[in-house]
Amino acid sequence: MVGDVKHQDLKTDIGPAVYRPYLQEKHPTGVQIYARTAGAPETVESAIRQAVHQLDPTLVVDGLRTMQAQVDNSASDNRALAFLAMGFSVLAMLLSAVGLYGVLAYSTEQRTREIGVRLALGAGRWSVVMLVVREMALIAAIATAVALPSVVAVARLFRSELYGVSTFDPVALAGAFFLTALMVLLAAMLPARRAASIEPMQALRTE
Amino acid sequence: MIELKNVERSYKTGHTETWVLRRVGLSIGEGEFVTVMGPSGAGKSSLLNVLDDGWLGEYWFGETPAHKLNRKQRADLARQRIGMVFQSYHLLDDLTVAENIDLPLSYKNLPSKERQGMVADILDRFQIVAKKDLFPSQLSGGQQQLVGIARAVVHAPALLLADEPTGNLHSTQAREIMELFRELNKSGTTIVQVTHSEENARYGKRIVELRDGWVTRDEAVEGSAQ
């Protein structure tokens, strides 16, 4: 009995396979040998070459590599895609931060009179900062409530493309959440600071 | 109650410094109703809002030397002791009448129940209970100013500052507002109003006139409506 084996690459689905003795092949073109080693695979290269040579001196051993190297090689395209996706994600995040900053800066500008009134009626500068941050936090909370389930759902569609990661990775999701929170905080910082520095009487006079 | 000594204030525009208050000395006693008059740009509003930043001199609020306080402490002083009435009412559009009146209370450390009671009292006193759930856009100018004054006095401030409180109102509404000020003054609130109107000034007991930042006149009102 032979277990399921991925022969081509990591993504191709495992299909039915037939194993035939090598010596029964009329025109053998090549053979792949998998060797399980007791020590580090790199140290047994010469021993393998020697063993094959003893088997048949006409056999040429080429493409000798460790299983890890083979896996890495097989996943290299996916890894490149992953890096590309990561780059786009960073870009998307930066654009979102700039967009959020723009929205909040505009909203704060629109609320200058309100902030002036609040300050004139006794609001502390800190409570004005919180007013702006709260608005941003609300936007972020709504976005997160929509985005998190969507990420989990979309990840399932890409299950066959994934290797070595789960479709639901709490650590990655928590990391993304905290990174987003940090970005939101940074985007809110400048408008909040501007709101806190509004001179109430000036704001009410220039309305 | 208020003692200003050599108060000066200026604004910087580029390299130019414009003086709006020059060596102002003023003493306002408790329970007074003072009217500040003068042409536009004379420094009336700057005098009213002198507790903000950017002034020199001495400002005594009762026994408190406001000139020695930092920005936050001055804001606290204003929050505790002063009520503000604005020409343009400055009610917040997305809050109801009751919520607008509650606004200054929300910045004090008062229990919610106590705040609700204070708001209910002032709504009753100003006879606007029926309007408590309306938004400012549903009120006339006079009613909005009434709410503005209710908001200013809800925390029973010792001093009420009014910057052209009837500037946007019809003369009948303006008279009602001035009558309300007179009632508040009679009940012990010190009032300082800025106005261009001679008629409004007669509701006060004293007129202070400013020109180019200088106090040019300070006298009792003859034939005060009081």
pLDDT of the residue at A206: 58
**What ipTM, to 2 d.p.?**
0.79
How far is residue A185's CA from residue B78's CA, in Å, rounded to a whole number?
31
Q: Which residues of chain B have pLDDT under 50?
A: none
Residue A61 lies in a domain: no
Note whether B161 and B149 are within 8 A (CB): no
Domain housing A93: 76-205
pLDDT at A138 over 80: yes
The pair phi, psi for residue A58, each rounded to 5°, is -85, -10
Average pLDDT, chain A: 83
pLDDT of the residue at B121: 92
* A30 or A110: which leads in pLDDT: A110
Interface test with B, best of A115, A126, A130, A201 (most B CBs within 10 A): A201
| Domain locations in chain B as residue ranges | 2-220
pLDDT of the residue at B215: 93
Residue A33 lies in a domain: no
pLDDT of the residue at B226: 58
Residue A134 lies in a domain: yes
CA B66 to chain centre: 17
* Closest Cβ–Cβ partner in B49, B78, B90 for A122: B78
E strands of chain B, at which residues?
2-13, 16-28, 33-37, 55-61, 64-65, 82-85, 159-163, 190-194, 206-211, 214-220
Residue A187 lies in a domain: yes
Segment B12-15 long-range contacts (CB within 8 Å, at least 24 positions apart): none
Average pLDDT score over residue span A89-118: 88
Residue A109 lies in a domain: yes
CB contact under 8 A, B107 and A201: no
Q: What percent of chain A has pLDDT over 70?
A: 95
Residue A52 lies in a domain: no
How far is residue A104's CA from residue A132's CA, in Å, rounded to a whole number?
8
Write out pLDDT tens, residues A117-134. 888 888 888 888 888 888
How far is residue A174's CA from residue A156's CA, in Å, rounded to a whole number?
18
Interface test with A, best of B86, B95, B119 (most A CBs within 10 A): B86
The number of distinct structural domains making up chain A is 1
Residue A137 lies in a domain: yes
How much is the pTM? 0.70
CATH number belonging to domain B2-220: 3.40.50.300
Average pLDDT score over residue span A183-202: 83
Residue A66 lies in a domain: no
Which residue does chain B place closest to A206, by CA atoms?
Answer: B88
Average pLDDT score over residue span A163-182: 82
